Structure 1
């Protein structure tokens, strides 16, 4: 099996895993993996992540132009701007996962960091999570809004929409997305109760220990 064939199979396995665990539903969400030539493979438009066909994944060049496979999702530009701003990124995951979307709809969030550092693993996998102001899905204004954060944050939360997360591998992007969703769930469970998040000193210590990107 070629490297690209193996990547196609891996994207489909990750999509099925996310779908089966209720982290995506219907035809929502998309996954991409950057290839050695600078282009990337991604899930097509109107495709369920639970039923992906490796041979039908969209193939895009390094400029984000569709060059093979089924038509890509209208949210392909979210992946393009993440790759453009983050040279170490090898994969991007975008979901409409329930608890993360619920948090994105709340009033009074800190737009510079909309989830507190409740656990060490959230800090290690996600870090600071800015809130991108609402833009219509598929609108190019959303690309510009995400691009403004992508250089300094590998995970952002789209208001009334969901998270988009880049990782140094497909596994790392998936793990970070899962950690974000679980932290959003914990945050909602604890809402209106006194909480004890990690201190600034504890967060800084984790960043130094793990050389967080």
Structure 2
């Protein structure tokens, strides 16, 4: 029991630290975005509704039981199910980051991109940290139909992009989820900067070699 309490205190502080870092560097804004982390007993800690990631209180984070029941803390975000769906499909996930980051949202608005893999493999770190980015069709925020759509896409990738909304990214740890989300946003920025230019993304062979090392 003492170990769980110590783990929970550490994760609460880490969520606050990561949230402030993302907010201060303009990866999120206002009260947008949410972060969660999973304890070793299956319980979830999550940023609450109407909370700025730049001003979180560790004691007020929403807490869910392993069964998905809100048991403590402030009122949870209506997007809690996005996190829960990722955990259901990604057994090794220890954290999930969901942002409304500008460049990633812009990618979700471009017509004609491959919905099974929206961004080309521009850099090795994008391939290693994100790998594949499928699109989840648009549903209004909080719509329960979005849950099944996220669940479907999460079976094939730990990172998905919600149409007209933003990315949802799972990682083995909170830092891993954070870094993958940041890599996704920066690659989206590169992609938008290079539109209209002839580009040299990694070849299929180079991409596959990187993914093989990740396995």
Deviations 1:21-41 (A, max 9, x none): 000000000000001111100
1:197 and 2:201 are equivalent in the alignment: yes
Give the equivalent residue in structure 2 for 1:97.
101
User: What secondary structure, in the 3-state scheme, does the structure 2 residue paired with 1:51 have?
Assistant: coil
1:148 and 2:170 are equivalent in the alignment: no
Offset at residue 92 of structure 1 (A): 0.1
Do the aligned residues in 1 keep the contact of 2:35 with 2:97 (CA within 8 Å)? yes
TM-score where L is the length of structure 1? 0.97
Give the equivalent residue in structure 2 for 1:109.
113
Q: Which runs of 5+ in 1 are unaligned?
A: none
Give, in whole Å, the separation in 2 of the partners of 1:132 and 1:42.
Answer: 22
After the TM superposition, which segments of 4 or more aligned residues of structure 1 sit over 3 Å from their partners? none
1:207 and 2:203 are equivalent in the alignment: no
Do the aligned residues in 1 keep the contact of 2:23 with 2:53 (CA within 8 Å)? yes
Indicate the larger mover: 55-64 or 168-177.
Answer: 55-64
Give, in whole Å, the separation in 1 of the partners of 2:87 and 2:10.
Answer: 21
1:127 to 110, 127, 131: 131
1:137 and 2:141 are equivalent in the alignment: yes
Give, in whole Å, the separation in 2 of the partners of 1:133 and 1:192.
Answer: 26
State the superposition RMSD in angstroms.
0.8
Within-5 A mapping of 1:1-213: 2-211=6-215
Offset at residue 210 of structure 1 (A): 2.5
Do the aligned residues in 1 keep the contact of 2:136 with 2:163 (CA within 8 Å)? yes
Deviations 1:125-182 (A, max 9, x none): 0001001110101101111100001122100000100000000000000000000000
Q: Which runs of 5+ in 2 are unaligned?
A: none
Give, in whole Å, the separation in 2 of the partners of 1:63 and 1:46.
Answer: 24
TM-score where L is the length of structure 2? 0.97
Give, in whole Å, the separation in 2 of the partners of 1:14 and 1:210.
Answer: 24
Offset at residue 63 of structure 1 (A): 2.2
